[in-house]
């Protein structure tokens, strides 16, 4: 019986046109930063060289392709940082965790400043979202015992929230919405 899986034949080394096609396909499918696109293209180029035993003489200019995508408006690191930050606030992550995520995305300081400021401004909303998602404090069905409250407090800290905010939500009674402290 024949196998229905197709084996890929090794393709030749990528040229500038192939790198451009890969870049356009990537930015079409994914919200990305310029650094992530550069790493993706470098990885694809390295894979194609391994498969084709290509030389480094006719190496495509990845930086130029990334810059073309930035100039065309397909990539905007600041918009990407803002979008990522808002998504993490909706999931309930705090400012410290959001800052870590933006650093992991390898975005520059200038691109992430507004996103970090917005995350700090929305820290209470993020903590509320976290408590609701995890059914902690005001969103719990019953009052948690001290051991569970300790675990919930630690979960708040791991999610990047301030200890003061975490304590307010963890100690809140079910159905009792805590007031935002200034």
Q: Per residue in 119-146, pLDDT tens?
A: 999 999 999 999 999 999 999 999 999 9
pLDDT of residue 29 exceeding 90, the answer is yes
Q: How many residues does the chain have?
A: 182
Cα 7 to Cα 4, 11, 145: the distances in Å are 10, 12, 57
> pLDDT at residue 42 above 50?
yes
Burial per residue of 23-54, b for 16 or more beta-carbon CB atoms within 10 angstroms, e otherwise: beebbeeeebbbbbbbebbeebbeebbeeeee
pTM equals 0.76
Name the residue among 78, 68, 70, 72 with its Cα closest to residue 105: 78
Distance CA 154, CA 50 (A): 46
Mean pLDDT for the chain overall: 88
- 22, two tokens: 């890969």
What's the confidence (pLDDT) of residue 8?
47
Largest CA distance in the chain: 71
Note whether 105 and 36 are within 8 A (CB).
yes
**C-alpha–C-alpha distance, residues 15 and 59, integer Å:** 7
Question: pLDDT tens, 45-75?
Answer: 888 877 766 555 567 889 999 999 999 999 9
The stretch 24-50 carries a mean pLDDT of 91
């Amino acid at each position: 019986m024949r196998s229905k899986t197709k084996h890929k034949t090794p393709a030749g080394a990528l040229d500038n046109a192939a790198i451009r096609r890969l870049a356009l396909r990537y930015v079409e499918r994914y919200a990305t930063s310029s650094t992530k696109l550069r790493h993706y293209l470098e990885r694809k180029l390295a894979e194609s060289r391994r498969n084709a035993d290509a030389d480094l003489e006719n190496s495509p200019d990845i930086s130029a392709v990334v810059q073309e995508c930035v100039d065309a408006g397909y990539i905007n690191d600041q918009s990407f940082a803002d979008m990522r930050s808002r998504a993490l606030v909706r999931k309930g992550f705090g400012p410290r965790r959001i800052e870590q995520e933006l650093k992991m995305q390898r975005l520059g300081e200038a691109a992430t400043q507004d996103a970090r400021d917005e995350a700090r401004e929305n820290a209470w909303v993020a903590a509320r979202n976290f408590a609701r998602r995890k059914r902690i404090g005001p969103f719990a069905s019953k009052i948690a015992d001290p051991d569970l409250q300790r675990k919930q407090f630690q979960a708040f800290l791991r999610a990047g929230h301030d200890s003061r905010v975490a304590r307010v939500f963890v100690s809140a009674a079910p159905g009792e919405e805590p007031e935002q402290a200034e």
